[in-house]
Amino acid sequence: MPKSKQNPVFAMMEEREDSETKRLHQDAGGSHVRRINPKNGILEMMLRPIRWLRMLSEELHWSFVLGVVIVYGISQGFGVGLSRVSTQYYMKDEQKSLCGMSSSIGALLGFSLSGFFVHLVGAKGVFGLLAIPASLVVLVGILLRESQVRNFAYRKVKEKIVDASKAMWTTLKCRDVWRPCLYMYLSLALGLHIHEGMFYWYTDAKEGPSFSQEVVGSIFSVGAVGSLFGVLLYQNFLKNHPFRDILFWAQLLHGVSGLLDLVLVLRINLKLGMPDYFFVVVDEAVSRMIGRIKWMPFLVLSSKLCPSGIEGTFFALIMSIDHIGLLSSAWSGGLVLHMLNVTRTQFDNLWIAIVIRSLLRLIPIGFLFLIPRSDPNLSILPSEMLRTKRGNDVLEPGNIEMATLVNSI
C-alpha cells in the first residue's frame, strides 16, 4: 500500500530490517561493501520468516502472531487443502469446470468488495466477515446425507494403511504416473512467483503507478473475470483436446504473457499512450485466463492417475506434489528478488526478475514428452490398476464415496 497508509508498526519493523541490512553491507566507514558468502545469503533468506515472526512478537502482542498463524496457516492453508482433496477427485470434468467457475465468481465478488469493506469495517471487521464462508462450509457438511457404515472393522485399519502405502508406492513406480507428476511439479516450480515485488511496485508513489487499495482490488476482480473466461474456454472448446497440445500452448502463452509486466515496469505503455490502469487490467485478465487454462488440465489429469481403492489418498498425494511445486516457486521467486535487491522501495532490477521468470516459464515445454498424448476421455492407467484388490471386478459406483454426485451430471 502507499507509504501514507502504511501501518506504523510495520514501518518501524521495516526500518529495523533496513538498518540491519545496511550494517551487513557497510563497514565502519560506510564506503565499502562486504563480500557476503552466498550460502549465508541463502540461509538468511530461508530464516527471514522466523526473524519477522520474532520482530512481530517484540512489537505486538503474541495474540497477533497467533492470529496470523491461524488465519494463513490453518484456515487458508490446511482448510483449503483439505477441502480440495476431499472433493475434487470425485468430480467429473464438467464438475471441475463448474468448481473453477464458482471459485472465479467468488474471487470476483471478493476482490470487488475487499477495498470497500476494509474502509467500512476495518481489518478486524473483515476477518469477522471471513468467518461467514467457513460457517457455511460447516453447514453444508451437516446437511450432506451420507450412509452410515455399521460394524466397521477398526482392527483392520493398520492393515489397510499398510496396503494403501504399498499400492501408492507401486503406482508411483508406474511410468504412466510418475512422468506426469514430474511435469506438473516442474511446470509449477519453474514459474517464479514474484507477485510481492510487483504488488509493491503497483503501490509505490515514486516509481510505480501508486494504486490505492480500492484500485488494486478492482484489478484483481477483473483478473477473476479472466479466470472465469478461461474456465469457459476450457469447458466449451478445449476439454476434448489432448493434454499435451493444450499444455504446450498454455505454457507458451504463460511465458509470453509474463512479458506484459516488463512493458509495464519499463513504462513502455505510457510511450504508447496506454494508461497504467488500463494496461494492468488487461495484463491481469490475460494472465489469469491463461493460468486457469493451464491449471484445468492438471486437475483432470490428476484424477485420471488415481488407481481404484486409494483414489482419494493418491489424489491427495498428487495435490501435495503440486503444492510443493508452488512452494518451490514462491521460495525461488523470493530468492531471485533478494539477489536482485528488489525491496519495498527499490525496483531498479525488477525488470530483470520479470525476464528471468518469463524465460523459466518456457523451460517446461521441453518436458512435454512426460505428458501422454492420448484421448483425454480415455483412461491412462493400466487395466490392472483400475480394478479392486479383491478381484478382477471393476469397482462399482455404489462403493465409491460421493458417487451419486459423479453420476448426477
pLDDT for 57 equals 67
- Sheet strands (E) in 160-200: none
Give the start-end residues of each E strand in 58-113: none
Q: Which three cell numbers stand for residue 57?
A: 512478537
In 3D space, the residue among 231, 336, 223 whose CA is nearest the CA of residue 285 turns out to be 223
Tell me how far apart the alpha carbons of residues 362 and 322 are, in angstroms, rounded to a whole number.
18
Question: How many Å apart are CA 200 and CA 342, to the nearest integer?
Answer: 10
Q: 33 has which bridge partners?
A: 26
Whole-angstrom distance, CA of residue 170 vs CA of residue 163: 11
Instruction: Give the C-alpha distances (Å, rounded to integers) separating 154 from 19, 157, 160, 310.
Output: 59, 5, 10, 18
Mean pLDDT by 10 residues, the chain (409 residues): 43 51 45 46 64 68 66 56 53 55 68 70 75 75 74 75 85 90 94 88 81 78 84 87 93 93 91 90 91 89 83 84 90 91 89 95 95 82 64 44 40
Direct distance between the N- and C-terminal alpha carbons of the chain, in angstroms, rounded to an integer = 45
Sign of the torsion angle spanned by Cα atoms 117, 120, 125, 129: negative
The span from the CA of 249 to the CA of 192, in Å, is 19
Q: How far apart are CA 327 and CA 318, in angstroms?
A: 14
Can you tell me the distance from the alpha carbon of 178 to that of 243, in angstroms, rounded to the nearest whole number? Answer: 16
CB atoms within 10 A of CB 162: 10
What is the Cα–Cα distance from 183 to 371, expressed in whole angstroms?
7
Query: For residues 139 and 131, what is the distance between their CA atoms, to the nearest angstrom?
Result: 12
Q: Structurally, what CATH architecture does the domain formed by 94-130+152-406 represent?
A: Up-down Bundle (1.20)
The C-alpha cell at 247 is 499444455
For residues 327 and 185, the answer to whether their CB atoms sit within 8 Å is: no
| Domain edges within the chain | 94-130+152-406
Backbone angles phi, psi at 33, to 5 degrees: -95, 135
Determine the Cα–Cα distance for residues 192 and 329; give it in Å rounded to an integer.
5
**pTM here?**
0.70
Q: Which residues have C-beta within 8 Å of that of residue 306, sequence separation ≥ 6?
A: 89, 312, 314, 315, 318
